[in-house]
Chains A and B, each alone.
Chain A
Amino acid sequence: MSDSSPTRVLVTGAGGPAGIAVLRSLARRDDVVLLAADMDRYASGLYLVDAGARHLVRPGLSEEFVDHLVGLCERERVDVLFSTVDVELPRLAAERKRLAAVGTTLAAPSLETLEVCLDKYALAQRCTGVVRTPRTALLGETDPDSWDYPVIVKPRRGAGSRGVHLVEDAAALRALGSDEDILVQANLPGDEYSVDTLADADGTVVAAVPRSRLRVDSGVSVAGSTVADPELEETARQVAAAVGLVGVANVQLRRDAEGRPALLEVNPRFPGAMPLTVAAGVDMPSLALDLALERPLPASVPFRELAVVRYLEDVFVPLADVVSEEDAR
């Protein structure tokens, strides 16, 4: 595109906190025209952009999702696509060339990075020996009597806190059967941190901003603070290097019995709590846009310690502006 024409950015998952965080960050740039998409007509982020820039998309798991989104990007002349939905990311990353052929750059880590992050067992194997990791095994391949209880059980693949629970003893673990898609992980006793991490095109980490999650509601941090802790930052940097991160990911760490940070998982996308990181000095959506546009990033971006409490906000729109039920097809 020419330097004079604004960059057209489409954000999917406009109903989620991550989508809204990206939209709000990029709305501050005067060189950007924002478009928003979601599968749900009531997704609040749709109503943060101009009426003409609201689009419905198919569910990320549906067969026609990619064809449809590529078509949308072509017609709407989308320069950069931000997907904030877990299930969309690998499908879009696999079609990066098709998107590029219609002039759209996908602002997301590589498919290889996504695949290793979205498979928590592969991630634990990749990072063992690089950073501290809790003992991790597949449910069907481990002896229940060999663990200290309680242990964490969670889906091998999955987003957020869905399906994650504590198991109190070997009998209860045995009762879960031998599902290969379930992970058993040592339950670390310490505090948990989310480290928002941005790596440039060479994989150099530009910023790693640890956040403590002071209160979590439905997997989303509703109160938190940034934490200046070089050990947390360094651990996230090592994880980013191990998974080959280019772009933004959220590295989840927890302190072990010795108080040392260990890796729980990596969410290779923007977290819902991103506004805190932005407010603390690191505007990752904006930096990720510059990265997608192949503009140089600063070598490092500092942050300050800052706390946040969050609340639901209302978007008021005329009745006629709300997409009605009959529109569904």
Chain B
Amino acid sequence: MTTALGELDLLLTDHHVHSTWSDDAVSAPMENLVAARDTGLASIRMVDHVRTTTTWVPGFLAEISALPRVEGLEVLTGVEAKILDASGRLDVPDDLVVGAGGVDRVLIADHQFPGPDGPWSPRRTLEELAAGLPAEDALSILVTATVRAMERAGRGQLAHLFSLLPKIGLHESELLDEHVAAIADAAVRTGTTVEVNEKWRCPGPRVVLQLAAAGVTLVGSTDSHEATTVGRYSWVAEAASATRLVGTR
């Protein structure tokens, strides 16, 4: 059985590609576009990192919209922002426009643990866990913050979902089915897409299958910072074919 994935095979998508608009990436949007064409992608999302103080989003969008059209290649936009706290507040500029005239989606990132009082460093999180915060409660805080962030984002995409867990000594296997179901429900309800991320190798097959079964739209993501890695999948391809999400390639 092949689970329905919406319109596109996720290996033909790369919905998380950074350019020089992100501080640390090395390739220009044009180079990423060429790489996407040469790799045979059907859809690419150009994404750069923002925070509340970011002012360059209009310039970024202008550059993407000025790129030459490539037949058979859809070009989408996004900004990536971290979840700041347990309320799901996102690290985006106040004047960010999402949808018509703005970015197509906000990528919701678990760069830090979204604590009740703001971002917790991995060390702080480990200390809280060691001091008695049950792992299940920590996972619930993270899942609830993620659900709230999806509601706030409007049109969101979960970037490298659960990539935080190894850094705080936890593993996806500790997630309850209810946790995954809450993410899936919110993703369907809000139209949020979820990445299967090559760079951070997450989420794992169990979560991916549960999300797919719930009708969540899954997209491929390399989290590329350099054109040579755009659309290049190994872990995602294996995970996807192993879980029969796509045919063997």
**Residues in chain A within 8 A of chain B (CB atoms):** 1-2, 4-5, 37, 41, 51-52, 54-58, 68, 71-72, 74-77, 100-103, 318, 320-321, 323-324, 326-329
Contacts and interface: CB of A to CB of B under 8 A. Distances in A.
A10 to B, nearest CB: 10
B31 to A, nearest CB: 7
Nearest to A6: B166
Contacts of B225: 52, 54-55
A33 to B, nearest CB: 11
B20 interface: yes
13 contacts: A2-B167, A37-B24, A56-B25, A72-B23, A72-B24, A75-B109, A76-B24, A102-B121, A103-B122, A103-B123, A320-B227, A323-B27, A326-B30
Given A5-B167, A74-B112, A68 B23 contact: yes
Given A5-B166, A72-B23, A101-B121, A323 B112 contact: no
The dominant DSSP class at the B interface is loop
Contacts of B13: none
Interface in B142-200: 163, 166-170, 199
Interface of B: 20-21, 23-28, 30-31, 49, 51, 82, 109, 111-112, 119, 121-123, 163, 166-170, 199, 222-229
B112 A52 contact: no
* Chain A CB within 10 A, most for which of B20, B25, B26: B26
Contact of B226 (A51, A75, A326): A51
A1 B228 contact: no
Nearest to A103: B122
Nearest to B23: A68
A68 B123 CA distance: 21
A147 to B, nearest CB: 49
A77 B30 CA distance: 27
Contacts of B28: 324, 326-327, 329
Nearest to B26: A323
The 8 closest A-B pairs by CB, nearest first: A5-B166, A103-B122, A2-B169, A55-B24, A329-B20, A323-B26, A72-B24, A51-B228
A4 B31 contact: no
Given A5-B167, A55-B225, A100-B121, A327 B27 contact: yes
B45 to A, nearest CB: 17
Contacts of B224: 52
Contacts of A102: 111-112, 121
A219 to B, nearest CB: 28
Contact of B167 (A103, A323, A329): A103
Contacts of B121: 100-103
Contacts of B227: 320
Nearest to A8: B167
